Amino acid sequence: MDLHLQGSRAIVTGGSRGIGLTVARGLVAEGAKVVLVARDDKQLGSAAESLRAAQPGADVLVVPADTTDAASVQTMIDQVVGAWGGVDVLVNCAAQPSFNSAPAALADLREADVAADFDTKVLGYLRCARAVAPHMITQGRGRIVNISGLNVRRTGSISGTIRNVAVAALTANLADELGPHGVGVTVVHPGMVETERTPQFVAERAAATGATEEQVRADLGATTSLRRLVTADELADVIVFLCSYRAAAVTGDAVSVAAGNRGSVHY
């Protein structure tokens, strides 16, 4: 299926590694121009080189920015528009992985940590969407995909659930306001995804519990319908589709990409 992404101008925040970089790779493979956004200039440069090596001739820009800073976000958007004349796709992916550390119990939960999570993921996504929206409205089309997480449908991480539910609420509101202008907005809820960080997480979990790494992986997979984790490429395939106008009829809603949320019913 031709996704009609050839020549599309896409911004991927959190694009220096992990899910963001894999999504950028998928967009480049479809012929899109891609801007990688993150705070670390060095990591961004390495990520861009990896995309160009995988897809010779790929049009990739690197724009360092901090999504917790509205001025930094606006400067980034201005640079992209100055270079390419507009923005067709925004993928909001700049956030700390929920499995980066064990969730804090209520007694140990610090308000500052919850606020930092919210500022990065929810307000960061809002800042980026607010900055690209005028350009998408002017051209009469656009796609925004917000990467959230399956904690939206689970307890166990107060901060993780709060921020992911908020991203879903943000998505629905943006979809209603921007829809009449031809702009679609969706939210994707990944479960735990195989990225370059996963081996270290598995090793640390094994060391902490006394289990083998094979047992840890089996336990993680047991929570899914497919009994395994989703790969970054599998997740990116869904996100890239949602970035395309083939998905124009999907907006305001959530798409779970987690190999099946075993034991739950959502309707």
pLDDT-wise least confident of 102-106, 117-121, 179-183:
102-106
Residue 97 is given by DSSP the state: -
CA atoms of 140 and 119, how far apart (whole Å): 29
Q: Cβ(13)–Cβ(131) under 8 Å? A: no
CATH tag for 9-191+229-256 (out of 3.40.50.300, 1.10.3720.10, 3.30.70.920, 3.40.50.720) = 3.40.50.720
Q: How far apart are CA 195 and CA 256, in angstroms?
A: 17
pTM of the model: 0.94
- CA–CA gap between residue 134 and residue 259 (Å, rounded): 36
Helix/strand/coil for 130: helix
Residue 163 has pLDDT above 80, yes or no: yes
Task: Return the beta strands (E) in the chain as ranges.
Answer: 9-13, 33-37, 60-62, 89-92, 142-147, 183-190, 193-194, 230-231, 254-257
Whole-angstrom CA distances from 162 to 112, 120, 122, 170, 224 are 14, 13, 10, 12, 22
Ramachandran region, residue 250 (left: φ > 0; alpha: ψ -120 to 50; beta: rest): beta
| Distance in angstroms (rounded) separating the CA atoms of residues 49 and 113 | 34
Crossing angle for the helix pair 18-29 and 232-243, to the nearest 10 degrees: 60
The whole-number pLDDT of residue 99 equals 55
With a pLDDT cut of 70, the percent of the chain lying above it is: 98
User: What span, in angstroms and rounded, lies between the C-alpha atoms of 223 and 217?
Assistant: 10
Residues 267 and 57: beta-carbon distance below 8 Å:
no
Q: Give residue limits of the domains in the chain.
A: 9-191+229-256
In tens, the pLDDT along 47-98 reads 999 999 999 999 999 999 999 999 999 999 999 999 999 999 999 999 977 6
- In the chain, DSSP finds a helix count (H) and a strand count (E) of 9, 9
pLDDT tops 90 at residue 175:
yes
pLDDT tens sequence across 184-240:
999 999 998 988 888 888 898 889 899 998 999 999 999 899 999 999 999 999 999
pLDDT band at 103 (very low <50, low <70, confident <90, very high): confident
3-state secondary structure of 131: helix
